Amino acid sequence: MKRKTRVGLLTSGGDCQGLNAAIRGVGKTLYQYVDNIEIFGMYDGYRGLIENDYQYMRPIDFSGIISTGGTILGTSRQPYVPGKAIVDHEGNDVMPAMLDTYNRLNLDCLVVLGGNGTQKSAKLLQDAGMNIITLPKTIDNDIYGTDETFGFQSAADIATTVIDCIHSTALAHRRIFLVEVMGRDAGWLTLTAGIAGGADAILIPEIPYDIESVARTIERRKKEGRTFSIIAVAEGAISKEDKILSEEERRRLKDANPYSTISYRIAADLKRATGQETRVTVPGHYQRGGQACPYDRVLATRFGVAAARLIMERQYGYMIGVQAGQIVRVPLEEAASQTKFLPTDHPLIQTARDTGAGFGD
């Protein structure tokens, strides 16, 4: 009798749009082409693997989920020591428990859907002896080795809609409005939404801002007869003064900071510099909730199908990515090696500058 192929699935880290479309792509492809296939979904990310908590997934479990937001498997964030160990919240190594579940289920492969940190922790699973394939999901679009991640376009659509809606109230009240967009380390999402929403200034982590420069952008608009301004601010935006501080100095400054987010600090500084009324909008997790847009559903499905084909070929140790529109297989050690920051000479930055947007530099 032919041996069964046994595959594990888990989603790790923050949720985003398109996870269920990717899960569906893996499951439907395997059930269509592989005889004697068994698929196990781990509950709540690595927790399910650690605690041996999973479900056997039948073909029907992959039906009707392409438009469902979130993840049908649940997800969680698992601490890890970069390059060394995956740990629990007390710092204990949980790799033995994860290996036990993997071996108990006699898995041929574990498919891990996750962001930048998950690619790094998945590499640790591979180093421990598991066969791993990963899929790149994050609204930050900061995973090395792929031009795009699923979840990014859906979040960009939402952030753009927020900026669009702010325009009318900003104009009506002649105010400065700051819209804080997710993106702690990379500015891809803020830049994209800022351009699409017609923001007058775009502040991203890769380009430290000078508040006087931002104020000059606003004053220039006033002189041109424009009575309001919209500023797209990445949650990880940083001033030129703070950029030169040490990590410890920044931590102490953050602890003493009376503002809940960077946008509120910038708003207060701009009010002092310009005298104009300022308001802040923080859409937060709204940006990564709800249904995936059609683009992300297609991209996530392509990734899922590609992962299934790797499993059929018994080719492991890869992240599925897309480069120049083509699906590619990226060695996991390469995908986990670094973060894909937004280059400061990226053509989109010049596009924004050419249409009058300032970056505070």
Q: Find, among 52, 56, 63, 65, the residue nearest to 38 by Cα.
A: 56
Residue type, 40: F
d(CA 156, CA 141): 10
pLDDT value of position 249: 82
pLDDT value of position 325: 95
Residue 2: pLDDT band with limits 50, 70, 90: low
Per residue in 186-241, pLDDT (tens digit) is: 999 999 999 999 999 999 999 999 999 999 999 999 999 999 999 999 999 999 99
Per residue in 88-145, pLDDT (tens digit) is: 988 999 999 999 999 999 999 999 999 999 999 999 999 999 999 999 999 999 999 9
Largest CA distance in the chain: 80
Q: Does the model's pTM come out above 0.85?
A: yes
pLDDT value of position 273: 93
Per residue in 244-288, pLDDT (tens digit) is: 888 888 888 777 778 889 999 999 999 999 999 999 999 999 999
Average pLDDT, the chain: 94
d(CA 137, CA 146): 11
- SS3 label, residue 95: helix
CB atoms within 10 A of CB 42: 29
d(CA 190, CA 92): 37
Calculate ∠ Cα 200-265-345, nearest 5°. 45
Q: Find, among 54, 134, 130, the residue nearest to 99 by Cα.
A: 130
d(CA 292, CA 67): 6
Count Cβ neighbours within 10 Å for each residue of 195-215 and write b for 16 or more, e otherwise: bbbebbbbbbbbbbbebeebb
140 counts as catalytic = yes
Q: Where are the alpha helices (DSSP H) in the chain?
A: 19-33, 46-51, 95-104, 116-127, 152-173, 188-196, 211-223, 240-243, 247-255, 262-274, 294-312, 332-335, 347-354
Integer CA distances (angstroms), 157 to 64, 187, 286, 342, in order: 23, 15, 11, 19
d(CA 339, CA 144): 6
* Domains located in the chain, CATH noted: 5-151+292-335 (3.40.50.450), 155-288 (3.40.50.460)
Q: Is the pLDDT of residue 1 over 70?
A: no
The single residue of 140, 142, 157, 200 carrying the catalytic annotation is 140
d(CA 46, CA 152): 23
Mean pLDDT of 307-316: 97
d(CA 214, CA 222): 13
Integer CA distances (angstroms), 216 to 211, 270, 296, in order: 9, 10, 38
Query: 139 with 119: CB under 8 angstroms?
Result: no
d(CA 217, CA 200): 8
Query: 121 with 134: CB under 8 angstroms?
Result: no
